[in-house]
C-alpha cells in the first residue's frame, strides 16, 4: 500500500497545491481560464495524440471494452437520475447524473494511469474518453432540457452538445493519433519533440488546474446544500460506477466476449477516478445548480485519494 501511495500521492498533492493557491489568493481566479485553455487546447491534445499514435489500433478499437463501459455509463446515469429526480428537476438531475458517470479521465486519469500501468493503459483510457465526451455528455445535456425550465427541446440540446463536442480538441487528437497508428505515420523529429514537450506539461498543469477549479467553484458557490444532495452522488461515482464495471466486465468475459483482463482492470481504475471537473463549467452554461455539482466534485476528489489507492492495491 505504501508503494502505491508513493505513486498516487504526488498527483493528489498537485491538486491540493492548486486548491490552496486559489484559496489563499496566490493565484487569481481570473488566471484559471488561461490554465484551462493551455491544458485543453495544447498540452492534453498532444498527450492524447502521443497516446493514440503509439498504441496499436486494435487496442483503440476494442468493441468489447467500448460496449461494457458504455453500458455501465448508461446504468450509472439512470441510477443517479433516480436518486436526484426525487428532490430536483430534470436539469439538476441530468448534471448530477453526468457528474456521477463522468470520471476525470482527461486531467487526472491519463497521467495517473500512465504512471501506474504504463503504455498498456492508453487503450482503455481512450475508450473511456470517447464514450464520456461523445455519448454520456451529449445524453445528459439532452436530458437536462426535458423539464419545463429547459428553454429548448432535447433534440436542439443534443445538436448543441454534439456541436460542442466537435469543437473539443480532445476527440480530434484521439482520432488523429489513431489514424497515425493505423497508417504507421511517424512525424518528423522536431515536430514530435515539440508535441512531447507539451504532452509532458499536461500532467502537472492539469492536476494543478483541477485544484484551482475546485477552489473557485467552492468559493463562488452560493447557499447551503444538505449532505444528502451531494454525498450519495459522490458515492455512486466512487463505488457504484467501478463495481458495476467490474461485475459487468467479468460477466462479459464469462460469456466469451474477448476482453483482455488487464485492459478491464485499467478501465475499472478509470471508473474509480473522481468526477470530472469540467461538469461544473457545463452547469454554469445550462443554468443548473453549480454549487451542488462543485460539492460533488470536491467530495469525490477528496475521498478518491483513499478509495482510488485502495482500488489499485486490490486490482493490481
**Residue 164 near residue 43, CB atoms below 8 Å:** no
How many of the other CB atoms lie within 10 Å of CB of 1? Answer: 9
Give pLDDT, residue 263: 93
**Residue 276 near residue 105, CB atoms below 8 Å:** yes
Say yes or no to pLDDT of 268 above 90: yes
The pLDDT of 262-289, averaged and rounded, is 88
- Can you tell me the distance from the alpha carbon of 87 to that of 280, in angstroms, rounded to the nearest whole number? 19
Q: What pLDDT band is residue 89 in, cutting at 50, 70 and 90?
A: confident
Over residues 230-250, the pLDDT tens digits come to 899 999 999 999 999 999 999
Q: What DSSP string describes 9-52?
A: HHHHHHHHHHHHHHHTTSS-GGGHHHHHHHIIIIIHHHHHHHHH
DSSP label of 276? P
Over residues 160-197, the pLDDT tens digits come to 666 666 777 888 898 899 899 888 888 999 999 999 99
Give pLDDT, residue 162: 66
**Residue 144 near residue 95, CB atoms below 8 Å:** yes
Say yes or no to pLDDT of 148 above 90: no
**Residue 109 near residue 125, CB atoms below 8 Å:** yes
Mean of pLDDT over the chain: 87
Q: What pLDDT band is residue 136 in, cutting at 50, 70 and 90?
A: very high
**Residue 205 near residue 38, CB atoms below 8 Å:** yes
Domain ranges (residues) in the chain: 2-220+229-315
Give pLDDT, residue 223: 60
Secondary-structure percent of the chain, ordered helix, strand, coil, rounded to 5: 80, 0, 15
Give pLDDT, residue 141: 85
DSSP label of 274? P
Give pLDDT, residue 160: 67
Over residues 104-129, the pLDDT tens digits come to 998 888 889 988 998 888 889 989 99
Give pLDDT, residue 280: 79
- Can you tell me the distance from the alpha carbon of 145 to that of 90, in angstroms, rounded to the nearest whole number? 7
Give pLDDT, residue 153: 59
Over residues 19-57, the pLDDT tens digits come to 999 999 999 999 998 998 898 889 989 988 998 888 887
C-alpha cell at 252: 462479459
Between 138 and 76, where is the model more confident? 76
Q: How far is CA 255 from the centre of its chain?
A: 29
- Can you tell me the distance from the alpha carbon of 283 to that of 222, in angstroms, rounded to the nearest whole number? 14
Q: What pLDDT band is residue 151 in, cutting at 50, 70 and 90?
A: low
Q: What is the dihedral of CA 74, 78, 84, 86, to 10 degrees?
A: 170
Instruction: Tell me the CATH architecture of domain 2-220+229-315.
Output: Up-down Bundle (1.20)
Say yes or no to pLDDT of 149 above 70: no
Amino acid at each position: 500500500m505504501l508503494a502505491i501511495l508513493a505513486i498516487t500521492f504526488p498527483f493528489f498533492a498537485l491538486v491540493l497545491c492548486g486548491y490552496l493557491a486559489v484559496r489563499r489568493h496566490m493565484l487569481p481566479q481570473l488566471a484559471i481560464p488561461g490554465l484551462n485553455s493551455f491544458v485543453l487546447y495544447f498540452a492534453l491534445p498532444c498527450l492524447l495524440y502521443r497516446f493514440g499514435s503509439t498504441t496499436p489500433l486494435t487496442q483503440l478499437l476494442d468493441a468489447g471494452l467500448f460496449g461494457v463501459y458504455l453500458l455501465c455509463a448508461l446504468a450509472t446515469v439512470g441510477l443517479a437520475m433516480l436518486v436526484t429526480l426525487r428532490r430536483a428537476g430534470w436539469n439538476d438531475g441530468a448534471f448530477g447524473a453526468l457528474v456521477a458517470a463522468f470520471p476525470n479521465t482527461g486531467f487526472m486519469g491519463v497521467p495517473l494511469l500512465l504512471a501506474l500501468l504504463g503504455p498498456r493503459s492508453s487503450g482503455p483510457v481512450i475508450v473511456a474518453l470517447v464514450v464520456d465526451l461523445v455519448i454520456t455528455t451529449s445524453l445528459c445535456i439532452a436530458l437536462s432540457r426535458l423539464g419545463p425550465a429547459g428553454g429548448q427541446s432535447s433534440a436542439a440540446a443534443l445538436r448543441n452538445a454534439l456541436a460542442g463536442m466537435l469543437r473539443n480538441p480532445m476527440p480530434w487528437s484521439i482520432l488523429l493519433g489513431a489514424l497515425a497508428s493505423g497508417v504507421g505515420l511517424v512525424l518528423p523529429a522536431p515536430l514530435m519533440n515539440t508535441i512531447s514537450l507539451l504532452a509532458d506539461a499536461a500532467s502537472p498543469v492539469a492536476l494543478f488546474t483541477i485544484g484551482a477549479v475546485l477552489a473557485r467553484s467552492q468559493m463562488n458557490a452560493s447557499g447551503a446544500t444538505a449532505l444528502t444532495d451531494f454525498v450519495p452522488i459522490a458515492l455512486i461515482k466512487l463505488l457504484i460506477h467501478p463495481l458495476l464495471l467490474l461485475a459487468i466486465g467479468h460477466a462479459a468475459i464469462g460469456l466469451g466476449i474477448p476482453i483482455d483482463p488487464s485492459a478491464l482492470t485499467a478501465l475499472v481504475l478509470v471508473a474509480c477516478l473522481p468526477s470530472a471537473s469540467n461538469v461544473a463549467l457545463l452547469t454554469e452554461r445550462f443554468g443548473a445548480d453549480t454549487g451542488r455539482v462543485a460539492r460533488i466534485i470536491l467530495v469525490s476528489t477528496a475521498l478518491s485519494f483513499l478509495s482510488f489507492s485502495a482500488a489499485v492495491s486490490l486490482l493490481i
